[in-house]
Amino acid sequence: MIYHPSCFVEKDLYLRIGTFNTRYRIAADYEFMLRCKVLGVKFLGKNTVIATFTENGLSSKHKFRSIIETSIIQTKFQKHLFVKHLILLIQLLVKQFFKECALKLRKI
Protein backbone atom coordinates (compact mmCIF):
# COMPACT_ATOMS: atom_id res chain seq x y z
CA MET A 1 0.00 0.00 0.00
CA ILE A 2 1.25 3.45 -0.91
CA TYR A 3 0.33 5.93 1.81
CA HIS A 4 -1.54 8.73 0.07
CA PRO A 5 -0.06 11.64 2.12
CA SER A 6 3.26 10.88 0.44
CA CYS A 7 1.77 10.48 -3.03
CA PHE A 8 1.71 13.28 -5.57
CA VAL A 9 -0.41 12.89 -8.69
CA GLU A 10 -1.16 15.18 -11.57
CA LYS A 11 -4.62 16.68 -11.96
CA ASP A 12 -4.96 14.79 -15.23
CA LEU A 13 -4.98 11.48 -13.35
CA TYR A 14 -7.95 12.58 -11.24
CA LEU A 15 -9.75 13.76 -14.38
CA ARG A 16 -9.03 10.44 -16.08
CA ILE A 17 -9.87 7.95 -13.32
CA GLY A 18 -11.74 10.01 -10.75
CA THR A 19 -10.98 11.16 -7.23
CA PHE A 20 -11.29 9.35 -3.89
CA ASN A 21 -14.55 7.42 -3.56
CA THR A 22 -15.95 8.97 -0.38
CA ARG A 23 -18.45 6.14 -0.04
CA TYR A 24 -15.54 4.58 1.84
CA ARG A 25 -15.13 6.83 4.86
CA ILE A 26 -11.91 5.19 6.03
CA ALA A 27 -10.40 3.36 3.06
CA ALA A 28 -11.03 5.82 0.21
CA ASP A 29 -7.28 6.24 -0.29
CA TYR A 30 -6.81 2.46 -0.46
CA GLU A 31 -9.54 2.15 -3.10
CA PHE A 32 -7.97 4.95 -5.14
CA MET A 33 -4.54 3.31 -5.07
CA LEU A 34 -5.96 -0.07 -6.11
CA ARG A 35 -7.87 1.63 -8.93
CA CYS A 36 -4.60 3.20 -10.07
CA LYS A 37 -2.88 -0.19 -9.97
CA VAL A 38 -5.65 -1.91 -11.96
CA LEU A 39 -5.54 0.85 -14.58
CA GLY A 40 -1.75 0.53 -14.92
CA VAL A 41 -0.76 3.85 -13.35
CA LYS A 42 3.00 3.88 -12.75
CA PHE A 43 4.40 5.25 -9.50
CA LEU A 44 7.92 6.48 -9.01
CA GLY A 45 9.36 5.50 -5.66
CA LYS A 46 11.68 7.76 -3.70
CA ASN A 47 13.78 6.67 -0.75
CA THR A 48 12.98 9.89 1.11
CA VAL A 49 10.69 10.66 4.03
CA ILE A 50 7.94 12.88 2.66
CA ALA A 51 5.26 12.52 5.33
CA THR A 52 4.94 11.18 8.85
CA PHE A 53 1.82 10.29 10.77
CA THR A 54 0.70 8.55 13.91
CA GLU A 55 -1.39 5.44 14.31
CA ASN A 56 -4.23 7.44 15.85
CA GLY A 57 -6.11 7.95 12.59
CA LEU A 58 -9.60 6.86 11.62
CA SER A 59 -8.53 3.38 10.56
CA SER A 60 -7.04 2.77 14.01
CA LYS A 61 -9.96 4.26 15.90
CA HIS A 62 -12.57 2.41 13.80
CA LYS A 63 -10.80 -0.91 13.24
CA PHE A 64 -13.93 -2.94 12.41
CA ARG A 65 -15.12 -0.49 9.78
CA SER A 66 -11.59 -0.29 8.37
CA ILE A 67 -11.39 -4.08 8.03
CA ILE A 68 -14.83 -4.28 6.42
CA GLU A 69 -14.17 -1.45 3.94
CA THR A 70 -10.77 -2.85 3.00
CA SER A 71 -12.25 -6.31 2.43
CA ILE A 72 -15.06 -4.90 0.28
CA ILE A 73 -12.53 -2.96 -1.80
CA GLN A 74 -10.22 -5.97 -2.21
CA THR A 75 -13.14 -8.12 -3.33
CA LYS A 76 -14.24 -5.40 -5.77
CA PHE A 77 -10.88 -5.54 -7.53
CA GLN A 78 -10.23 -9.28 -7.12
CA LYS A 79 -13.62 -11.00 -7.42
CA HIS A 80 -12.02 -14.42 -7.82
CA LEU A 81 -10.64 -14.09 -4.27
CA PHE A 82 -14.03 -13.41 -2.64
CA VAL A 83 -14.05 -16.54 -0.44
CA LYS A 84 -10.44 -16.00 0.62
CA HIS A 85 -11.19 -12.37 1.55
CA LEU A 86 -14.33 -13.41 3.42
CA ILE A 87 -12.37 -15.92 5.50
CA LEU A 88 -9.65 -13.33 6.20
CA LEU A 89 -12.29 -10.78 7.16
CA ILE A 90 -13.89 -13.17 9.64
CA GLN A 91 -10.47 -14.03 11.10
CA LEU A 92 -9.56 -10.36 11.48
CA LEU A 93 -12.90 -9.48 13.05
CA VAL A 94 -12.66 -12.32 15.57
CA LYS A 95 -9.06 -11.39 16.41
CA GLN A 96 -9.96 -7.72 16.83
CA PHE A 97 -13.02 -8.59 18.94
CA PHE A 98 -10.96 -10.64 21.39
CA LYS A 99 -8.22 -8.01 21.47
CA GLU A 100 -10.75 -5.33 22.44
CA CYS A 101 -12.35 -7.64 25.01
CA ALA A 102 -8.95 -8.25 26.60
CA LEU A 103 -8.30 -4.50 26.77
CA LYS A 104 -11.66 -3.91 28.46
CA LEU A 105 -11.06 -6.71 30.94
CA ARG A 106 -7.72 -5.15 31.97
CA LYS A 107 -9.57 -1.96 32.89
CA ILE A 108 -11.88 -3.81 35.28
The C-alpha atoms of residue 11 and residue 9 are separated, in whole angstroms, by 7
Q: What percent of the chain has pLDDT over 90?
A: 23
What pLDDT was estimated at residue 36?
Answer: 92
**Would you say residue 1 has pLDDT above 80?**
no
Please write the tens of the pLDDT for every residue from 70-79: 888 888 888 7
What pLDDT was estimated at residue 35?
Answer: 92
Please write the tens of the pLDDT for every residue from 11-33: 999 999 999 999 999 999 989 99
Across 30-64, b (16+ Cβ under 10 Å) vs e yields bbbbbbbeeeeeeeeeeeeeeeeeeeeeebeeebe
**Would you say residue 95 has pLDDT above 80?**
yes
The C-alpha atoms of residue 67 and residue 89 are separated, in whole angstroms, by 7
Band the pLDDT of 61: cuts 50, 70, 90.
Answer: confident
Q: For residue 24, give every residue at least 6 positions away whose Cβ sits within 8 Å of its Cβ, in sequence order, or none.
A: 30, 31, 69, 72, 73
Tell me the average pLDDT of the chain.
84
**Would you say residue 81 has pLDDT above 80?**
no
